[in-house]
A and B are shown apart, each in its own frame.
Chain A
Amino acid sequence: MLDVSEIQTITHDVLVIGAGGAGLRAAIACSAHKLKTGVLSKSLLGKAHTVMAEGGMAAAMGNVDSRDNWKVHFRDTMRGGKFLNVWRMAELHARQAPDRVRELEEWGAVFDRTKEGLISQRNFGGHRYPRLAHVGDRTGLELIRSLQDHGVHQGIDFHMECTALELLKDGDRISGVLAYRRETGRFIVFRCKAVILATGGGGKAWPVTSNSWEYTGDGVAMAYEAGAELMDLEFTQFHPTGMVWPLSVRGILVTEGVRGDGGILKNNKGERFMFNYISERFAPETAATVEEAQRWLEGDKNARRPPELLTRDEVARAITAEVKAGRGSPHGGVFLDIASRRPAEFIRRKLPSMYHQFKELAEVDITKEPMEVGPTLHYFMGGIRVDADTQETTVPGLFACGECAAGMHGANRLGGNSLSDLIVFGKLAGDGAKQYVDKLAAEPVPTDDQITSAIRRATEILNRETGANPYLLHEKLQATMSKGVGIVRKKDELEVALEELQALKAEAATMKAPGASQYNPGWHEALSMRSLLVTSEAVTRAALIREESRGAHTRLDHPGESAEWVKYNVIIKKGSDGTMEVEKRAKPEGPADLVAIANAKIEDLESGKVGADVK
């Protein structure tokens, strides 16, 4: 029998799981509140997925177009999210993002500048004005490095290459986390008063994804197992432009900044097809002709935005339709052309890593030739249900922020709203944890039973004589999700996927990782399969119940948005019998003033006819 007292125990007030933008910002907030703070990261510090974010972070600072303000940003976010966003989260985000961005400068971030020496802002899909603070096309790196270099001086304990396995509870409260170190394979018990999950999404359930190996839905799955409610997981964003060739790099992201800086989409007939896909909602604010789009590019403030800058869900669907109609590029994508739109020097300066990436990986010079691009699974709008102001989940002491939390982005996220989400809600999660810890009467204690059973679940994968190969099982899961829960969905296909997932779960119970526990990727893969399976099942069940097409969730058998479904969230929870429960739950109505702003005509909002009384 395992002796729990022999396992290393580390005590913090707050343990943050995840060291991307949200986790680091949350940890900085906790340490500023004088909490003893630890951060777990699956990789080395500074390597989290945030590092791959390219285009920028959205904040209505109005440095480039002074007409911008938080209300316009809020309205763009709600419309982009097809009105399924949690009202309060979209409001908090739009209001607080500018301060959070400016604060990064105080910690050493060096954004690109305007002529006046202010933070420059670029255009992006769904944002009415140039709004994204950026550093070329490596904004994520700038964000993570600024937080990292500031964070290491804040007295935070970083536990690198350390993976969380299960949340521990004392009654209904969080009391700690069981984790293991990659290097040694040893288990560690973290005792803490609160846990902040900042674990990102679960894109690795799909074969074509911009996500790295870390994106296995760990936070979503751990929260679910601990009894927390999940929300709106059917909304999985396919970014319209991922690389499609060579096959081995399929899915790697091509920043929306290419389109923001003037790039256009063409089919194999050379047609600028996006003009054929302008939906009614966006028609009044989108250029109707190539000529008008051209004037916009040249800086005419009265021209409307080109249709390439429609929201990601709309562009991804349009690309899929073009390819399906036989108008795709040789490798099953479409063409993204900036070479004919901007001088080579401009492209190399504004999009250096895109230039580099295509040159080195695809042998394509994007200053001379168009890129081939197609949709790639990029982001989870859904996730763990949280309180908007504190980011607390439905489990006391458990907080979530960033991509693993639900609500901010509704049915579709605007580009650039993710990096700002990380720093706005990362900070709020830290503040929320502080309030919670202050009110906590007694220190919660994990029980030995939970620890030993969690360890047993992890080690049986190593101890089994034979069993399923976790890598091959992962490939099977990706095939299932790609076939049944892709960019367009149907009832019967979702049902088949659900059946396959049940079979995969049974097979996963027999996984075997050969070798010892020291730095054993096969074992790590097997452990993350558990999270991926929970997350995949939640996405599939949510997709099955939502019988409409909204944002990133497209049901061929239920085309169009339904007036009924906008009033509901899909809530998922672990039932008392251990099975996954799905509930269609009424979504709280928004406050009248915010509803008015979100629904206002842009002219009315800007003239002050609507929303002038909201400060």
Chain B
Amino acid sequence: MAKRVFKVWRGDTQGGEFKQFDIEVDPGMVVLDVLHRIQAQQANDLALRWNCKAGKCGSCSMEINGKPRLACMTRMNSFGDDEAITCQPLKTFPVMKDLVTDVSWNYEQNKRIPKFKPKPRDADGTYRMYQEDVDRVQEFRKCIECYLCQDVCHVLRDRDKPAQRAKAGETTKGSFVGPRFMIRLASLEMHPLDTDDRIPEIRKEFGSGMCNITRCCTEVCPEHIGITDNGIIPLKERVVDRYFDPVAIVGRKLFGIRKRTKTRAEEASEGKPASGAAGETKGPDPR
């Protein structure tokens, strides 16, 4: 048992400040345990999110001593004995109260991504995929949606601030969707069963070009997903192949080999029939 100093940001949409708590800490505790003790003993109404307490749900994201972390996976013995611990809400997202932020913008981005469009089943009613072909997609699907990568992304945090702008009622159309949703797009784009062509939208609607590969997102990922190298860079390469590969350009010009370069929204605005509407249901009836 030892007394530790916690400085916890308390406030709401109107602003706030750090409040100090002196609190007993037991061996083996993580930051979330200490925050719960503060909540039970000193500040019943301290707002924070948590669920699984085992790094599996991605709810307790916050900035601890300035770094985006999961509070449930941050052990107290990772700090110096006398070090004060500061906890503050994710900066990229608008504050709701105390350590809780409004992350609804992320859910809106997810909805914009056209759904999975699987090819038909084999004749025996199953799908065949080989482990080596799904390893990469499984890596992306480890994502627990903690949004630490979104929090640390320079485009979302400092440059575009779409979550803040959306809260203020502005449109954020065309803004970068952030590393989390690049990874989601990559998990669809590289899925062996997916038949949808997603490249024009990845470039023009989801903003793949906005990422300048500083790899900050990869560094903070608690699931150790190779967000930049395994996900975003390959997507950028696919975009480059589609739009700027000289062989493909020649192929288009001379032989009329066409792969889609316009988004479905662009096709629709030009009055052409869209090449497979986004989000359209395919496959057997979900019942």
Expressed in whole angstroms, the Cα–Cα distance for A213 and B60 within the complex equals 13
Q: How many residues of B contact A (CB 8 A)?
A: 67
In the assembled complex, how far is the CB of residue A372 from the closest CB belonging to chain B, in whole angstroms? 12
Judge whether B59 and A361 touch: CB under 8 Å: no
Decide yes or no: A118 and B126 within 8 Å by CB, A32-B286, A103-B286, A246-B29 being known contacts: yes
Q: Which one of B27, B40, B54, B138 lies within 8 Å of A52 (CB-CB)?
A: B54
Expressed in whole angstroms, the Cα–Cα distance for A141 and B285 within the complex equals 24
Chain A residues contacting B138 (CB-CB under 8 Å) are 110, 112, 135-136
Judge whether B110 and A248 touch: CB under 8 Å: no
Most chain B CB inside 10 Å of its own CB: which residue of A117, A357, A470: A117
Q: Which one of B28, B96, B137 lies within 8 Å of A247 (CB-CB)?
A: B28
Expressed in whole angstroms, the Cα–Cα distance for A28 and B284 within the complex equals 14
Binds A, one of B97-105, B157-165, B166-174, B259-267: B97-105
Say whether B53 faces chain A, with CB atoms less than 8 Å apart.
yes
Chain B residues contacting A247 (CB-CB under 8 Å) are 26-28
Q: Nearest chain-A residue to B46 (Cβ)?
A: A521
Judge whether A46 and B45 touch: CB under 8 Å: no
Judge whether B144 and A141 touch: CB under 8 Å: yes
Binds B, one of A145-153, A229-237, A562-570: A145-153
Judge whether B45 and A52 touch: CB under 8 Å: no
Chain B residues contacting A482 (CB-CB under 8 Å) are none
Say whether B58 faces chain A, with CB atoms less than 8 Å apart.
yes
Say whether B212 faces chain A, with CB atoms less than 8 Å apart.
no
Judge whether B137 and A110 touch: CB under 8 Å: yes
Chain B residues contacting A52 (CB-CB under 8 Å) are 52, 54, 56-57
Judge whether A520 and B47 touch: CB under 8 Å: yes
Chain B residues contacting A253 (CB-CB under 8 Å) are 54
In the assembled complex, how far is the CB of residue A288 from the closest CB belonging to chain B, in whole angstroms? 35
Expressed in whole angstroms, the Cα–Cα distance for A32 and B281 within the complex equals 11
Expressed in whole angstroms, the Cα–Cα distance for A152 and B28 within the complex equals 39
Say whether B207 faces chain A, with CB atoms less than 8 Å apart.
no
Chain B residues contacting A49 (CB-CB under 8 Å) are 51-52
Q: Which one of A118, A154, A249, A471 lies within 8 Å of B44 (CB-CB)?
A: A471
Decide yes or no: A212 and B53 within 8 Å by CB, A105-B127, A135-B141, A142-B141 being known contacts: yes
In the assembled complex, how far is the CB of residue A261 from the closest CB belonging to chain B, in whole angstroms? 16
Binds B, one of A270-278, A397-405, A510-518: A510-518
Expressed in whole angstroms, the Cα–Cα distance for A88 and B214 within the complex equals 57
Chain A residues contacting B110 (CB-CB under 8 Å) are 149, 152
Q: Which one of A32, A47, A248, A353 lies within 8 Å of B51 (CB-CB)?
A: A47
Chain A residues contacting B57 (CB-CB under 8 Å) are 43, 46-47, 51-52, 212
Chain B residues contacting A516 (CB-CB under 8 Å) are 45
Say whether A113 faces chain B, with CB atoms less than 8 Å apart.
yes
Binds A, one of B80-88, B128-136, B148-156, B249-257: B128-136
Say whether A245 faces chain B, with CB atoms less than 8 Å apart.
yes
Decide yes or no: A248 and B26 within 8 Å by CB, A118-B128, A513-B44, A520-B47 being known contacts: yes
Judge whether B129 and A106 touch: CB under 8 Å: no
Expressed in whole angstroms, the Cα–Cα distance for A103 and B118 within the complex equals 11
**Proximity bits, A179-206, B CB within 8 Å = 1, else 0:** 0000100000000000000000000000
Say whether A360 faces chain B, with CB atoms less than 8 Å apart.
yes
Q: Which one of A116, A248, A471, A519 lies within 8 Å of B100 (CB-CB)?
A: A519
Chain B residues contacting A452 (CB-CB under 8 Å) are none
In the assembled complex, how far is the CB of residue A210 from the closest CB belonging to chain B, in whole angstroms? 9
Say whether A70 faces chain B, with CB atoms less than 8 Å apart.
no
Decide yes or no: A360 and B75 within 8 Å by CB, A213-B51, A521-B46 being known contacts: yes
Q: Which one of B27, B47, B55, B116 lies within 8 Å of A360 (CB-CB)?
A: B55
Judge whether A116 and B45 touch: CB under 8 Å: no
Expressed in whole angstroms, the Cα–Cα distance for A105 and B141 within the complex equals 13
Judge whether B51 and A212 touch: CB under 8 Å: yes
Expressed in whole angstroms, the Cα–Cα distance for A33 and B191 within the complex equals 29
Say whether B5 faces chain A, with CB atoms less than 8 Å apart.
no
Would you mind naming 10 contact pairs between A and B with Cβ atoms under 8 Å apart?
Answer: A51-B56, A108-B118, A108-B191, A108-B194, A116-B128, A117-B130, A160-B107, A247-B28, A356-B55, A522-B44
Beyond A44-B107, A247-B27: 16 further Cβ-contacts under 8 Å? A47-B51, A105-B118, A107-B116, A108-B118, A110-B137, A135-B138, A150-B115, A150-B286, A152-B110, A153-B111, A183-B97, A248-B26, A249-B28, A362-B28, A472-B40, A521-B45
